[in-house]
Amino acid sequence: MKSLITSAALALAMTGGAFADGHANTVTLQLQWVTQAQFAGYYVALDKGFYEAEDLDVTILPGGPDIAPPQVLAGGGADAMLNWMPSALSAREKGLPVVNIAQPFKTSGLMLTCWKDTGIEGPQDFKGKTIGVWFFGNEYPFLSWMSQEGISTDGGEDGVTVLKQGFNVDPLLQRQADCISTMTYNEYGQVLDAGVSEDELVTFKYEDMGVATLEDGIYVLEENLEDPVFVDKMTRFVRASMEGWKYAEANPEEAAEIVLENDETGAQSEAHQVRMMGEIAKLTAGSDGSLDEADFQRTVDTLLAGGSDPVITAQPEGAWTSVITDAALN
C-alpha cells in the first residue's frame, strides 16, 4: 500500500480534492476487484430499483489489478470505495483519512489452500515451505498470522518463502508453491475446477485460525462526513445496498444472473458466479451493515501483532463511524 498511496493522491485528499460533485443524489462506488458475485449486493440494489427508490443515481466502477481503490478515493474518482480493513487502516495511518461507514461482510473468506502430500497439517508445518501470498494490501493478514506463530517470512528451513502470488491459482497447480492464498468464494473453486479433489488439499481458514480481519467494508473520506448532504446520501446508499445484499442472500441464482448481466468483459461464467454467490452469502449472513466493535478490535489486534514490522503501529482513532448505519437502520 506504501507504493499505492502516492503523495499526489494524499495532497488531493488533504486539499479538498475529495469527490464533491455537488449532487445530493449521485453516488459513485469503486469496487476493489472486477465485476463478480463478491459485489452482488450493489448490482442487485441497482437492478431491482432499491437505489432508485432512495432517489439515488449510482455508478459502480469495477476494479482490477491496476486499480487501487484508496487512490481512486483520494483522487476524487469516487464517493465511496470497498476495501479490506487491513489495507484501509494502513492507508489511514500513512495519512489518507478513510473511514469505515458500513460493514456488509461479517466474516472472512480468506484462507490458505495447501497440497496434502506436502505433510502440512498445521501452521508449524509451514516452515521450510513456499506459500503464495497476494500483495497490494492483501498480504497484511498473512504477515500478522506468521508473526503470531513466530515464523519468519524470510525463507530458510525455519521460515516460509513468500511467493508474490498473482490473482490466479497457477502456483499451486504448477507446484511452484506448497500453499496459496484462496478465497472461499473464488480461487478455491478454481483449484477444484482444475481437476484437483478436496481430498488432495488441506485448507486453513483465517477465521478458524483466530487471525481473520474484516473484508469488503464501505469507506469514505473523513472530511466528507462533515457535510450533512453527503451523510444523507450515504445513509440512503447504505440502506439500499443492504437491501440488495439481503435480497442476494435469499435469491443467489438471480443475484448471480444480475452480476453476469453487468459483466461487460464477458469473462465470468454462470456456474462460477452461482457458486461464488452461495459462498458470499455465508460471509454477509448475520450482518445488517453495521460494524461490530468487537470485530473491529479483533482486526486491529491482529494487525498490531505484526512483530518487528506491524501493519499498523498504534490503535486507530476515528477509523470507523456508526453514524451512517445508525441512521440507515432506524
32-51 pLDDT per residue, tens = 999 999 999 999 999 999 99
pLDDT at position 188: 96
Nearby residues of 285 by Cβ (< 8 Å), 6 or more positions away: 106, 249
* Rounded CA separation 237/78 (Å): 13
CB atoms within 10 A of CB 80: 26
pLDDT of residue 140: 80
How far apart CA 213 and CA 299 sit, in angstroms, is 5
* Surface-to-core class of residue 172, CB atoms within 10 Å of its CB (0-12 exposed, 13-18 middle, 19+ buried): buried
Report the C-alpha gap between 92 and 314 in whole angstroms.
11
**Is residue 311's pLDDT more than 90?**
no
With a cut of 50, say whether residue 146 has pLDDT above it: yes
Task: Please tell me what DSSP assigns to residue 320.
Answer: B
CA distance 209 to 227: 41
Predicted pLDDT of residue 307: 62
* pLDDT band at 306; cut points 50, 70, 90: low
Q: What is the mean pLDDT of the chain?
A: 91
The answer for residues whose C-beta is within 8 angstroms of residue 228's C-beta and 6 or more apart is none
Residue with cell 481430498: 199
pLDDT in the model for residue 114: 98
Pairing of strands 57-61, 130-133: unpaired
Q: CB atoms < 10 A from the CB of 21, how many? A: 10
Confidence of residue 141 (pLDDT cuts 50, 70, 90): confident
Q: What confidence tens digit (pLDDT) does each residue in 167-194 have? A: 899 999 999 999 999 999 999 999 999 9
Cα separation, 31 vs 46, in Å, equals 14
Backbone angles phi and psi of 214, in degrees to 5: -70, 140
Specify the pLDDT at position 13: 41
Does residue 125 surpass a pLDDT of 80? yes
pLDDT digits (tens, 9 = 90+) for 10-27: 443 443 434 444 489 999
Mean pLDDT of the 283-301 span: 95
Q: pLDDT at position 139, please?
A: 84
Q: What percent of the chain has pLDDT over 70?
A: 92
Cα–Cα dist 213/197, whole Å: 28
Gyration radius of the chain over CA positions:
19
Strands of the sheet with 98-102, listed across from one edge: 57-61, 26-30, 80-83, 217-221, 98-102
pLDDT of 18: 41
Which three cell numbers mark 87?
A: 489495507
In this structure, the number of other CB atoms found within 10 A of the CB of residue 287 comes to: 20
- CA distances 53 to 25, 153, 241, 243, Å, are 11, 50, 12, 11
323 residue type, one letter? V
